[in-house]
Structure 1
Amino acid sequence: MAPLQVFVLLSLICLCKSDDRLTPAKPLAAGDKLVSDNGVFALGFFYPKNSTADSYVGIWYNNIPEPTYVWVANRDNPITNASPGKLVLTNNSDLILSDSQGRALWTTMNNFTSGTTGNAAILLDSGNLVIRMPNGTDIWQSFHHPTDTILPGMPLPLSANDDIYTRLVAWRGPDEPATSDYSMGGDPSSDLQVVIWNGTRPYWRRSAWNGELVTASYQGSAGFIMTLRIVYRGGKLYMTFTVSDDSPSMRMVLHYTGMFRFLAWNSNSSTWEVFTEQPSPSCDRYAYCGPFGYCDATETVPKCNCLSGFEPDGVNFSRGCRRKEDLKCDGGDNYVVWDDTIITTNTTSQEMCVKF
């Protein structure tokens, strides 16, 4: 092969490999995109459906026809008025997103000067955007700053790091990436549970971690396997999931309705299918049956009931249950244990009545 032909071929190879990364000399402008090495994910500027006014920088599935965003950088600070933006990797190894006026809309906070060249922001086939040093060390990654989605191999911390809890935060609406009131993460009071909040109120919580490394494994109808794990590493708890090699694209997402969904891509119907979701329509939601009520899941159709000595407070259980009779503190009311919760029934002791 002639020297000139070799040079041209090598140049093409280098250009192809550079498509998955940013360098200080190669920013990302509107209309450009990074594509991971095997073409699984893309990163670039996007407009939500039915909107041309605000734009965002995000990561999405590159080969799935339905736009599916798994990470958004500037979700609460969009680029407005259709002004072109630019994403730059600085010499201090920070990513900075700015608008056409030069205003910084989003940035990482590394401020790391290595004294060497060769730093790059690389989009991996896992969907993780990393800032990588020449020695291969990753000093920042999008997996550590999730929005509403968990991808295979991505760890969601259930314990605090530097007194900060990492949470998934749902989109505000189907086409609005801004943060909503629904969030999901580890319970600050125990580190042993996964909780969904609606604002500051618990909306759902799963059972406490029992020490098992594998908490759930699901077999798909097409033969693939998805395994959900609780990982204990470096004194911290993490939730993560893996999929078998033959699985379709899968993701876990906190939906804008507050539902936590496992989704699998069906290439035949070109849709995301709900593999499983929480909370279930009944019983699973936090305090679903209200004060002094409980959900009986042993029934064919789960339903709310009242504890002994209580009756529904109204025509449904939206306000829970109320006492059938007032406490008799002169004659006493006693404690009984029901499902690890202390409740009162009409029996004895003024002291116990006052304690309740």
Structure 2
Amino acid sequence: MSNSSSSRRNLQYLVRIILVILRFIDTGLCSEVDNITSTQSLSDPGMLSSPGGVFKLGFFSLWYNFSVTTVIWVANRDKPLRDSSGVVKISRGGNIVITNGEEEILWSSNGSTSQVNSNGLLQDSGNFVLVDHRDNMTTIWQRFEHPSDSTIPRMRISENTKTGEMVEARSWRSPSDPNIVDFSLRMNARVFSQVYIWKGRRPYWHTGLWNGQIFIGVQNMYSVVSDGFDVVNDREGVVYFTGPVRDNLFRKLVLDWIGNFVQSIWDVNETNWKIIWSALNNDCEVYGTCGPFGSCNYLESPVCSCLRGFEPKHREEWQKGNWTSGCIRRSALQCQVKNNTAYSSKEDGFIKMELMKLPDFAETSSTTEDLYRIQCLRNCSCIGYAFDSSIGCMSWSKMIDIQQFQSLGNDLYIHVHIQSLCFLQIMVMTLRKS
């Protein structure tokens, strides 16, 4: 056996909380403890079990066959143990720590505690908590606020609008490597709440605004995705997104290693996970596929087209299938030409686009739709507007990440110079006849 193969076999990642779908079968190869205290630690190959036996916390290697288990959390993602000397214990400062045989700390909960004798508990919710040993109730630190790639019922993806602090999920590097990479799932609650997948510093997917019932930019949110999903403002500055908690079915949401956000449910009959929804069903779901002022329709070929009244910014690139530069206006709005909004607005108007995923960067207003239409018409910086009964009026000074839905989308009104658009339509008809 080569040295590299031997190293791979010895490489272990600690600690992973494992979601057990079937009852855990005790083979006698490892011992289980109820909790971790200042006098009781957890050593490889021991395990910590939740009271109901559904969740386990322990040591494992990536090359172990998890036939009835699912990994939902990894503590020391970027600092793997190299042998079986790992220990989980309460440090002198009262935190949960992972150490190797040399007593080197590979991971710490870093909770703010003055309780030297705190306890580590694995709960039936799947939460691993550090609590005050005096009552086992006062939470000092909890793993629900430090997700890996997965969220389960009662977990939250959140943003503190006062401090900017976030609870976010981070994807694995690959199916066999839990190290942190560029993909992250975050809440954005600046005005109206929405959820983003980020790839590094760039958005990769987004839900559109939350209207109190659904995210309006998710095509099939009226069906499986809306089953128990909610966005909550706790009135103390924290806004969070949480998954279904209304039933006892096993569910999970995973930000996978290719940046897809997937909801799965455990199929008892087939004893495996069944995907019931995913964010990235087609190329149009990827943020900004067609660039500024481009619209994406996965049923057409090519999938990208310019909004009416716009044309490709770089036509040669567009024809080669590189749409990221987007589109520009074919003809300027008349208020831009004459600098007289009261007069020139008569020559400008709106084109209605139905069943649309609305663009990102919406500005909102409580003004009535009729009045807002007039205001947008007289404002050259208003590229377009839309209306939702729960959100109100939305307008844009720039447009990106627009998609043509097949059902249940919004009406989007694009601000254009009507006369030039009519002339273009006449020319097209004439060419067709000739």
Smaller-chain TM-score bracket: 0.7 to 0.9
CA distance, structure 1, for counterparts of residue 163 and residue 396 of structure 2: 34
Give the share of equivalent positions with the same residue, in percent. Answer: 27
- The question of whether the paired residues in 1 share the 8 Å contact of 2:161 and 2:239 is answered with no
Q: Does structure 1 residue 100 correspond to structure 2 residue 126? A: no
> Structure 2 length normalisation: TM-score?
0.63
Q: Tell me what 1:8 maps to.
A: none
Contact 2:162-2:237 within 8 A present in 1 as well:
no
Specify which of 76, 79, 86 is matched with residue 78 of structure 2: 76
* TM-superposed deviation, 1:96: 1.0
Amino acid paired to 2:37:
T
Provide the C-alpha distance between the structure 2 equivalents of 1:303 and 1:27, rounded to a whole number of angstroms: 57
Partner of 1:245: 247
| 2:81 partner amino acid | I
SS of match in other structure, 1:158: strand
Judge conservation of contact 2:183–2:200 (CA < 8 Å) in 1.
yes
Whether 1:337 aligns to 2:337 is no
Deviation at 1:278, TM superposition (A): 0.6
Q: Where in structure 2 are the equivalents of 1:4-19 lying within 5 Å?
A: 19=33
Q: As a proportion of its length, which structure holds more helix?
A: 2
- 1:67 positional shift: 3.7
Deviation at 1:284, TM superposition (A): 2.5
Q: CA offset at residue 29 of structure 1? A: 0.6
Deviations 1:107-146 (A, max 9, x none): 122352347x5x3211011110011212221111100111
Report the equivalent of 2:305. 305
Shift of 1:250: 0.8
Aligned runs of 1:109-258 on 2, under 5 Å?
109-110=110-111, 112-114=113-115, 119-133=118-132, 134-135=134-135, 136-160=137-161, 162-187=163-188, 190=191, 192-212=193-213, 218=223, 226-233=227-234, 234-247=236-249, 249-258=250-259
Tell me which amino acid in the other structure corresponds to 1:70. Answer: I
CA distance in 2, matches of 1:212, 1:302: 33
Q: How far has the Cα of 1:337 moved from its partner?
A: 3.2
CA shift, 1:324, in A, is 8.8
State whether residues 94 and 113 of structure 2, in contact with CA within 8 Å, keep that contact through their aligned partners in structure 1: yes
**Count of aligned residue pairs for this structure pair:** 309
Quote the offset at 1:97 in angstroms: 0.6
In structure 2, the partner of 1:57 is none
Question: Given that residues 332 and 346 in structure 1 are in contact (C-alpha distance below 8 angstroms), is that contact kept between their aligned partners in structure 2?
Answer: no
Structure 1 unaligned spans of 5+ = 1-17, 52-63, 349-356
Match of 1:316 in 2: 321
Q: How many Å apart are 1:153 and its aligned residue?
A: 0.9
Q: Report the CA distance between 1:151 and its aligned residue.
A: 0.9
Quote the Cα distance in structure 2 between the aligned partners of 1:38 and 1:161: 38
Evaluate the alpha carbon distance shift between residue 109 and residue 171 of structure 1 in structure 2; reply closer, same or farther with a 3 A threshold.
same
- 1:161/1:89 Cα in 2 relative to 1: closer, same or farther (>3 Å)? farther
Helix, strand or coil at the partner of 1:283:
helix
For residues 98 and 104 of structure 2, what CA distance do their matches in structure 1 show? 8
Q: What does residue 4 of structure 1 align with?
A: none
The alignment's C-alpha RMSD in Å is 3.5
**Using a 3 Å threshold, how does the CA distance of structure 1 residues 201 and 190 change in structure 2: closer, same or farther?**
farther
Deviations 1:236-282 (CA, angstroms, capped at 9, x unpaired) = 211112334342x1111111110111111112222211111113314
Match of 1:49 among 63, 66, 74: 63
Report which stretch shifted further, 312-321 or 226-235. Answer: 312-321
**In 1, distance between residues paired with 2:141 and 2:328?**
56
2:51 to 19, 37, 61: 37
Say whether the 8 Å CA contact 1:156–1:238 is kept in structure 2.
yes
What is the CA distance between 1:326 and its match in structure 2? 9.2
Q: Which region of structure 1 is more displaced relative to structure 2, 259-268 or 86-95?
A: 86-95
Of residues 65-74 and 320-329 in structure 1, the stretch that sits farther from structure 2 once superposed is 320-329
Q: Give structure 2 stretches of 5+ with no counterpart.
A: 1-31, 339-347, 349-379, 386-394, 399-414, 420-434
